[in-house]
Amino acid sequence: MSGQSVVQRLTEYLSRVWAAPVIIEAFARIPGGASRETYRFDAIVAGRRHPLILRRDPPGSLIETDRRSEFLAIRSFHGKDVAAPEALILEEEGAELERPFFIMGRIEGGHASSPFAPNAYGVHAQAIGEQFFSMLGRIAGADAASLPIATVAAAPEPDACWRRELDYWANVIETDQQHPQPIVWAAIRRLRRDPPPPARKVCVVHGDYRSGNFMHDDAGKIVAILDWEMAHLGDPHEDLGWAMNPLWNHFDDTCVAGTVSKADAIGYWERASGLNVDPAALAWWELFASVKGQAIWISSAKEYRDSGLTEPILAFSGWYTARRQDEILADALAALEAA
């Protein structure tokens, strides 16, 4: 298998799985974060062209997520008005491609904006924000137990959602930190001292629902929600807290996700989900979001070093984003103390 290109291996795999000759065209890697290798390609079989995306595990993975969980999360919401792609093939053993991967339908006509680009949505910010938070509401409002993801994602007890997540990410920091982190540890202690109320509903949590993880058409329409690899079951406020983190506000403190006001975002979400936001719960999950973020950036820095300094996106996450998250955390802790 060594010496063969990814295209050759993919051609062999699909020809075998589809029991028909397959021609791969326009194969190219696209930016998609450091946790997966992402490629776009067209597969031509029986005279028909299929626009597809390949997501494959890299040699070392930043976030230890289950690709089956990601695959089933996407499958859970395809066709449910949340712009989830069509999940087609899951290969957990790697087969001809040697590392686990999955293939999904490619959605055309859109692109993802950097969350660090000011005014990314321009005159379409209102429309984008309404769709963004409404789609999140539909995810939260869905009956998780009836969805494919429920077959692999454990449902925590409503009063245990917070502890499971906080324990997990605190452990990531404990394991991966390479310099003492007084600010994030202060936040963790505060979160433990004042846990949130139990989740009113255990729902599907996207896990990385934010500006930068959806594609839009530059004309006010969201065409795809991306990056479902951290999907799990939990408190619906978790995704809201993450989406509203200042890190994703495009440097505009007057809005969330670079789109609409916080109040409007909550309104869209409540109408779409059929749920009501609990302010105390949301405040907790907002601070948690910064802890989770910092855990990811700390891991990025460690992975950058461990992988031989070869992935610049890890350097950026472990450096610029980590510094900015510390500032967000410090400001949040000071504001909570002053309240």
Partner 1 sequence: MTPTIPEILAGNAAALSSQAARDDAGDYLASRIGILATLSILAIQEVENGVAARVAENAAIRALFGEALAYDAELLGRLKDATAQTDHNLALSALDAANAELRRLLIALHEKVEAAPDGALEKKILGLYVEMARGRRLVLPGG
Interface contacts to partner 1, rule CB under 8 A: 5-7, 27-31, 39, 116, 118, 178-183, 185-186, 189, 193, 251, 301, 304-305, 308-310, 312-313, 315-316, 318-320, 322-324, 326-327, 329-331, 333-334, 337
Minimum distance from residue 181 beta carbon to partner 1 (Å)? 8
d(CA 33, CA 136): 21
Q: Are 160 and 283 in contact (CB under 8 A)?
A: no
Minimum distance from residue 73 beta carbon to partner 1 (Å)? 24
> Shortest CA distance to 277 belongs to which of 224, 319, 238, 329?
238
**CB crowding 127-147: b at 16 or more within 10 Å, else e:** bbbbbbbbbbbbbbbbebeeb
Closer by beta carbon to partner 1, 80 or else 192 = 192
Tell me how far apart the terminal alpha carbons of the chain are, to the nearest angstrom: 61
Closer by beta carbon to partner 1, 18 or else 116 = 116
Closer by beta carbon to partner 1, 159 or else 331 = 331
Minimum distance from residue 23 beta carbon to partner 1 (Å)? 16
Minimum distance from residue 323 beta carbon to partner 1 (Å)? 5
- The beta strands (E) that lie in 47-184 are given as 48-56, 87-91, 101-105, 111-112
Closer by beta carbon to partner 1, 31 or else 59 = 31
Minimum distance from residue 117 beta carbon to partner 1 (Å)? 9
Count of beta carbons in the 10 Å neighbourhood of residue 206: 27
For 238, the token pair is 């978790």
Closer by beta carbon to partner 1, 28 or else 46 = 28
Minimum distance from residue 68 beta carbon to partner 1 (Å)? 25
Minimum distance from residue 103 beta carbon to partner 1 (Å)? 16
> Shortest CA distance to 6 belongs to which of 96, 83, 112?
96
At 8, which amino acid appears? Q
Closer by beta carbon to partner 1, 14 or else 329 = 329
What are the DSSP calls for 200-228, one per residue?
Answer: SS-EEE-SS-STTSEEE-SSS-EEEE---
SS3 content of the chain, % helix, strand, coil (to 5): 45, 15, 35
Closer by beta carbon to partner 1, 47 or else 59 = 59
